[in-house]
Chains A and B, each alone.
Chain A
């Protein structure tokens, strides 16, 4: 038995962790010594510690997790991180490309700064041309005073992470849209709704899915039959069309917050079914295993058998499903907003920004307006990488 375990732990060290930190391993001495030490820790560690250890070896997943945390921090402190509010407009600077940041002024090195801009209309092409006024540099300031805002709608503040200060030309890292709004600030503000829709929605569907799927899978028989048919119905209703239909009945006067909660609930109400199916399918197969029978014989309660003995057998599968579910919710929001059925301006979400960017002029001539799309794609990828790492880490078979 013990050899088998060390076999497995070896495979986890060499095989399933491609981003193994070689230097760290070598510092632990010879392979055998290290394995023995690992065995030692392995015997006494609880499963979650094991998962954590293995996850930390998964570099891509770790990096993704760090980036996700940064994104969520940005969403939480959006007012502070973004130099402007989501609806602030730069007068006369509509459709401006991202501000260039300079470090040389008149041939000499300077702290990072921006120049003022002059906008003119090219009479031939009808394009706006922006020319820099190189006479005066405006340094980029950190923790600077800027537009007043209310932190979390509570405390009036003026301090921003960065900016150019009052009277200076604006700094717009991702350029501006057709109304002169700062796309960087809008992306940060937009992440608030988009990132939380994914999280809340999936949280609700996870709870529903595991509970209902668990019951269905373990009890089988009539209970299973009824639940399965219910799921069949829910699952067979194409989400977008159904939500489109529902949206027709949403009270017109609902504001962004109410719409937000409605969308979250809808996404969750249909989202749980997929998870429930996975849980049920796995349980159906696992409950025939000897150890389930053993637990039953030992007098364990049904819920204990489900949640204590059977569920851990496919945690990995659940985690893969969840990590796929969060980005699906995020994408769902963008799709609904694209159809004009989700969050409506002036509220800002990534869906709203994508709808703004769903413009041929943006694709052909103002590609910076597509930057919010990169955030959507990036976030979805990050969740998937994290899920991948978790899967490898939590998989009992690869242990």
Chain B
């Protein structure tokens, strides 16, 4: 692992030096060439080895598809060992064979997280979804000025949308000027990621188009975190900056009169709100990749959505214009088709696993089912890979801005949150729900607050003045019963049992926590409407490079404060100083270059801030996570984050 890191650091160093020296930037995609000399620019089809899938070769022969050379960019992205996933995690990377259908399963209508992650193509990329060793992805390469303000990007010449149209800076310009620059679509202007320091209140960057394939983004101040912000932060993918202008112009009044959109507007119960039609129906962002409405929409993803043969499934077929090739010059992806079937009862996702009906599964697995998976591996022809989870799997969120004065007073008092943390017997939860495969939250809660200590919890609660108790020994406030309603969306199988256990454990200190399970979509609505008093959800892991303070989680920790921050004070409520401190820490961190001393210092400060303020109560850290892969599926990670393996779908192949 260390070796790889050192290697990638060297690569970065070389790149930076090259960039500073003004030397022509080596295509970062070639970086792995250090490890794999075989990796060259794709050789012309040589000898008998097929460089494209048989079905595409047939289409080319039939004249319905241009030949491979015309479909690939001049400089394709070369996938080899250590490129998408580090060699430590995929020690036996090998170029694969074409063919096969990857079956998966999802449980929410129109939404498959596993497929979404597999299809995600960010602007830039780094192995293992880390932010060490950032290289080009959809964009070919980049240069950064010394002061971290000018970012020059080179696009891949010859890159095509999945409908065959070229991808150029016109798509970038359209996104910047006609989408972000349109006040109907973006009343508050460009999103925070294109503002200095990832700060909603920061100055927007400026876009300069150099030619068809080169452009720069310039920030008013140092924005050292910008590159890592356009890798995987927020899972937003290339649509943050590149959208198919040739399609979207038909639905934009700058290019098409609104009268011509009438039929579509009416079909959607609209009259002349083109912007709703544009963003709700016509534009597909990375997150929308599994939506039925996005079938046929041009993408840059390895597979594209096609009309399924029967209801309840999603089908994705290979994108003939996909821009990645392997070390032998074969166009990716290897796998022909991805089919995800909607399972109505999450429990039955596991039934499909046992039956061998699933070739890859991540989001719906559960640690508690591992013995079942293990027992059925041979029968179902799959294997269970125990990897790391990329998030702190269960956190207790108390919405400190929930509309209830008593509740606000109490939940905003740090002693209350400390008391709850002390009252939770985490070891019991680790044993019962996580099979012992999780650790105490030393980073985000700290030894001092994580210890199970009922006396300390009681003392803190008494100190808060919650001394009055009802007939059942439950604490009261001002003579009224004090009850917390926790609503969770069962987003992961562990949330319900953990919430139930916490509720039981809190009884011992006289706190009444009612647990209710609601639909994930409803949960979303209530969260946004500030209607959740408390919830259980995951929070980003402290090992994840982008989020050390949990500022992202503030949406659940204090919805109205978060809203205030997001809207730059237009909506929500002004947060207290300790929260503003956190936002300031975030901006400072995002402004610094990752890995620098400044960054590392700020990272430590962020951890300290979290432990001191306990914005949310982390239950466990470093949770293991089972990932299901068909026995003959190759290039699957054996370690690291499960989601990183999920992300590298284009390199997976079936051994026949």
Contact = CB atoms under 8 A, between A and B. Distances in A.
Task: Decide if A and B touch, CB cutoff 8 A.
Answer: yes
Interface of A: 87, 89, 91-92, 94, 121, 124-127, 178-180, 252-253, 255, 340, 344-346, 358-361, 364-365
A126 B517 contact: no
Given A255-B514, A361-B369, A126 B435 contact: yes
Contacts of B517: 340, 344
A360 B516 contact: no
Contact of B375 (A89, A94, A253, A364): A364
Given A359-B347, A360-B347, A360-B350, A365 B368 contact: no
Contacts of B72: none
A89 B504 contact: yes
A125 B374 contact: yes
B435 A121 contact: yes
B432 A179 contact: yes
24 contacts: A91-B428, A121-B436, A125-B371, A125-B374, A125-B375, A126-B370, A126-B371, A178-B432, A179-B501, A180-B432, A252-B487, A253-B485, A340-B517, A344-B515, A345-B500, A346-B503, A346-B504, A358-B345, A358-B347, A359-B347, A360-B369, A360-B372, A361-B369, A365-B372
Contacts of B350: 360
B516 A252 contact: yes
Given A360-B372, A364-B372, A252 B485 contact: yes
B415 to A, nearest CB: 26
Nearest to B375: A125
Contacts of A255: 514
Nearest 6 A/B pairs, CB to CB: A126-B371, A126-B370, A127-B371, A94-B432, A361-B372, A360-B350
Interface string B570-613: 00000000000000000000000000000000000000000000
A365 B347 contact: no
A127 B507 CA distance: 30
Contact of A360 (B354, B501, B504): B354
Interface residues of B, number: 30
A245 B534 CA distance: 25
Contacts of A124: 374
A358 B496 CA distance: 14
Nearest to A345: B500
Nearest to A344: B516
A268 B354 CA distance: 41
A179 B500 contact: yes
A364 B503 CA distance: 29
Given A180-B432, A252-B487, A252-B516, A361 B371 contact: yes
Interface in B366-395: 368-372, 374-375
Majority secondary structure, A binding face:
loop
Contacts of B515: 344-346
B431 interface: yes
B520 interface: no
B497 interface: yes
A344 B345 CA distance: 18
Which of B371, B431, B500, B501 has the most CB atoms of chain A within a 10 A radius of its CB?
B371
A367 to B, nearest CB: 13
B351 interface: yes
Interface of B: 345, 347, 350-351, 354, 368-372, 374-375, 428, 431-433, 435-436, 485, 487, 497, 500-501, 503-504, 507, 514-517
A361 B431 contact: no
Given A252-B485, A344-B516, A346-B500, A92 B370 contact: no
Contacts of A178: 368, 432-433, 497
A126 B374 contact: yes
A91 B347 CA distance: 26
Contact of B497 (A179, A253, A340, A358): A179
A94 B371 CA distance: 14
Given A121-B436, A365-B371, 4 more contacts: A94-B431, A125-B374, A126-B370, A360-B354
A68 B501 CA distance: 33
A343 B199 CA distance: 45
Nearest to B522: A248
Contacts of A340: 517
Contacts of B431: 92, 94
Contacts of B487: 252
Which of A126, A253, A255, A359 has the most CB atoms of chain B within a 10 A radius of its CB?
A126
Contacts of B432: 94, 178-180
Nearest to B496: A345
Nearest to A364: B372
A121 to B, nearest CB: 6
Nearest to A180: B432
A176 to B, nearest CB: 10
Contacts of B375: 125, 364-365
A191 to B, nearest CB: 21
Contacts of A345: 500, 515
B507 to A, nearest CB: 8
Contacts of A358: 345, 347
Contacts of A125: 371, 374-375
B366 to A, nearest CB: 9
Contacts of B351: 360
Which of A87, A178, A359, A360 has the most CB atoms of chain B within a 10 A radius of its CB?
A360
A37 B497 CA distance: 66
A89 B503 CA distance: 13
Nearest to B500: A345
A359 B371 CA distance: 13
A144 B342 CA distance: 52
A348 B515 CA distance: 13
Nearest to A255: B514
A126 B626 CA distance: 12
Contacts of B507: 87
A77 to B, nearest CB: 20
Contacts of A87: 504, 507
Which of B372, B428, B487 has the most CB atoms of chain A within a 10 A radius of its CB?
B372
Nearest to B370: A126
B368 A361 contact: yes
A89 B517 CA distance: 22
A126 B375 CA distance: 9
A221 to B, nearest CB: 47
